[in-house]
Structure 1
Amino acid sequence: MTTNSSAPSATTRPLRIGLIANRSHQDAPDSALVQLLRGARHSIAQLQPEWIVVGRTLDAIIAHDLLAVCGKHQRFPYGREGGLMKLVSRVVDNDPARTVDAVIYLIDPVDPSSVFPEAQALKRQCVIHKKPFLSTLASAREWLDLEAFNAGAAADAALNPGYALAGEGIALIAHDAMKERMLALAEKHFTLLDQFAHRYATGTTGGLLNQLAQKIKGEEAGRHWVQPFLSGPLGGDAQIAELVLEKKIRRILFLEDPHVARQHEADIQLLERAARTVSDFALVVSDAGGADRWLELISKRMAPTT
C-alpha cells in the first residue's frame, strides 16, 4: 500500500479512486471485492468518492448489487481492451479533473495478469507520484477507515483489533537511497512505532534503526529495538515474508526507490506476494510521503478521546 500525503480536501473535490480486482477476488459472495465494499460502506459513505472502475470489476459490483454503495463512478474498458493502461495514465495526469488520487487493485498473487507490464507500471507510478497503491483487502479497508476517520467519521470498530499495536508486528525496510528518509520517519513517529510489540528490518536498515533507538531510549533499552534480518539481496525479504504468511507481521513499511534497477527484484515481489496471499490481514506501504500521512493518521485514530 502507498498512501497519499496530500489527499484532496472536501473543499476542493471528492477523492477519485481507481478500482480493479482480479477475477478470483470478484465473483464469490465473500470475495475480497464484496468484503471491501460491504465492510467499508460507512467509510465510503463519509468520503463519497468518485470511482473509476475497470470493466469486469464494475460488472461484478453490479452483479452483487453493490452499485449503490459505490455511488458516483465511471466505467473504464475491460483490461484486455486497455482499461488498466488507461488507469496508469490517470495516475500520472496532473489535471485535477482527470487524475486519480488512489488505486485499489485487489491482486490475486497467482493470477497471471498481476505481473503484466501495465500492472507493474501502475504500482510503480503510484510510488513515484506518491499516491496510494492498495493491493490487499486489509490495505484498502485500513486506508478507507483512516481517511474517513480523518474526515470526521466514527472509526470502523471491526478494524480495532489491528490497531492494538501492543500485539502487532511491523517490518521497516528501505532501499539505499531511502534509508535516511526511513530514519527521519522513524524518529518523527518513534512514539507510535515504539508501541508495536515487534519491529523487524532487513540488513543495514535494522542496524541504523537500532542506533536511532539507542539515541532516543538509551544504549541498553534501544539496542534490540528492531530485530534485524539479512539484507534484501541476501534473503532478508524472504525471511520477513515468512512472518507475514504466519500472520506475525501485519504492516510492512517498504520505502522503495523506483528509479533504480534492482537485482533482487524477485525478492521484493516475493514479499509483496506474501502480503497478497494473506490479503485480509497484511498491507504494504511503499512511499515516504504516504508513509508519513499513514503513521500520522494511525496516531490520530489511536489518540484518546476526551
Structure 2
Amino acid sequence: MTTVRKAVIPVAGLGTRVLPASKAIPKEMMPVVDKPVIQHVVEEAVQAGIKEIILVTRSGKSSIEDHFDSHYELEEQLERKNKTDLLNAVRNIIPSDVTILSVRQSEAKGLGHAVHCAAQVIKDEPFVVILPDVLVNNYQQNETDLQKMVAAFDQHSAAQIMVEAVPEDKVHLYGITDCNGIKPAAGESAAICGMVEKPSADEAPSDLSVVGRYVLPGRVMELLADTKPGAGGEIQLTDALDELLKEQTLEAYRMTGKTYDCGNKLGFLQANVAYGLQHPETAADFKQFLAQQD
C-alpha cells in the first residue's frame, strides 16, 4: 500500500491568461468536455491512491468547493425523472472514502507559499502537489503517470518531479532539470543534481521541463517555512526543492502521457479536442465534424 495519501492542489490563481472567461468563473471550473478542469485533476489524484485532497483557495472560488458537495435538489429531480446515468455522474464525483477540504491563501506569494498554506494538514506526511492548470492525459494506458510517480516514491524513497522533453527554443519558458546528462526513458526516473528556472537555450542543462506534478516528503513543508522570496519576489517551491536536494535524493520522472495547459486559451482548446475525441458520447460525431472543417 502506498504511503502517499494526501494531495495539495493550489487553486487560488486569478486565471489572467484565459480572461475574460475567468472573470466571474474560476478557471478551474471551465469545462473540458463535460467535466470542469478541477474534476479531471481530482480524479487523477484519486486514481493514484490519494484519500485526502487539500484545495488551497481564496475568496471568489467557492464554486469549486460546491462542485464536490452534494446537490440535493438536483439529485432528487434526476432520481424522480429516472435519469440514472446523470444521477450517478453527479452523485459519484468522488468516492465516499475521499475527503476534500480547503485552506485559504490570504495573498498571492507564489507557489511555494500556496503549498505551505497546507502545512497544518500535511504535517510530516509525504504528499502530492498537482497544478490544476495542466491536464495529464494517459488515455488507454494501464497506469497514469501520477500512479507511477507514487510507486517510484515508495520504491526509491526519493521525491519525484514529473518532467517532459520540450523543444530547445522553448526551454526558456520552463523550469529545467539537470540529471547530469542522463535522460530517463518515458516512465522511468533519474536522479536530479540541479534545477534551473527558465534558462536560455545555451545555459539549459537538458530539455527536461518540470510539468506540474510532484511527490514530496513532508520535510518540504519545514523547508518552505524558512524559504525567502526568490524570483518575482515570490516564495518559490523550486527554492525549497534546491534545499531538499542538499539533504536527500530527488528524481525526475519522465512522463508517458500528453499534457495540456488549460491555463491558456490554446491549451484549453487542445484539451477539449483531445478529450472530446476520447469521450464515448462525443468521439464519433466530433471526429466527423473536425474532418469537415477547413
* Band of TM-score, shorter chain: 0.3 to 0.5
Which structure is higher in helix share? Answer: 1
TM-score by length of 2: 0.38
Q: Choose 1 or 2 for highest CA Rg.
A: 2
